[in-house]
Copies of this chain bind each other. A is one copy, B any other.
Amino acid sequence: MVRSELANSGAAPKIPRPTTLRESVFEAILELIVNGSLSPGQHLAESELAELLGVSRQPVREALQMLSGEGWVDLRPGHGAFVHAPTVQEADQLLAVRALLETESARLAALNSDAAGVARLREVCARGLRALEADDIDASVAANSELHALITELSGNAVLAELASQVSRRVRWYHTPVARQRGRDSWEEHDQLINAIEARDEIRAAEIMRDHTEHTRSSYLEQRAAEPAEPQEPAPAARRRRPRSLSAS
């Protein structure tokens, strides 16, 4: 059954399917949170976001609920959405979970990966190092995320990869400012990790990844210890009324 000539003419550019509005809004708000335009604890009024983004309240509502599902905002019935304010304890717990998930990923990756996978790992690793040399922090951080994501993908466990991805995004938010501290060491550990994966040494791969994630964890805790204290008061949960300023800057 020769369906049609068009079907075989591959290279379908996949017409720029306008994704649903709620997804665009989701990305937009997430960006505002990650880059700090919206500060933790801040109240998010649907109407204001809607006006700011030029859409109606409905897509904003749905986006906020998606964000709530991934832990970016807290939804208090009747009160609306508040940017999630992570406590030091919670950040630490999240880092612990990330360590667990990534360690297992590395172990499985060592068991399952093939030459092609290793090649991809090396490529990303090289890219990260180049970014580091060039003092391009953003590119370095991005490459770091990409490398970890790739490892979880190579684990062959999609569920694990999905979970690790979510956890990683939040971790990155919490400790982005810390990232610039440890660059060189981090990429050397990555290199050793790839070696272990290539050698199919699951024990060593897991070990290196555990140490690696523990390093970033302790580095995060040091950073926090150096700071004065919790920036936001924990009890009143930041109920300030009328923030009125969503100025994106």
Contacts and interface: CB of A to CB of B under 8 A. Distances in A.
23 contacts: A20-B77, A23-B77, A61-B62, A62-B62, A65-B65, A65-B66, A65-B69, A66-B69, A69-B69, A90-B159, A93-B157, A93-B158, A93-B159, A93-B160, A94-B159, A96-B157, A96-B159, A96-B160, A97-B159, A97-B160, A100-B101, A100-B104, A163-B163
Interface string A4-18: 000000000000000
A114 interface: no
- Oligomeric state, in copies: 2
Given A69-B69, A163-B163, 18 more contacts: A19-B77, A23-B77, A61-B62, A62-B62, A62-B65, A65-B66, A65-B69, A66-B69, A69-B70, A90-B158, A93-B157, A93-B158, A93-B159, A93-B160, A96-B160, A97-B160, A97-B163, A100-B100
A244 to B, nearest CB: 26
Interface in A62-83: 62, 65-66, 69-70, 77
Interface residues of A, number: 23
Interface of A: 19-20, 23, 61-62, 65-66, 69-70, 77, 90, 93-94, 96-97, 100-101, 104, 157-160, 163
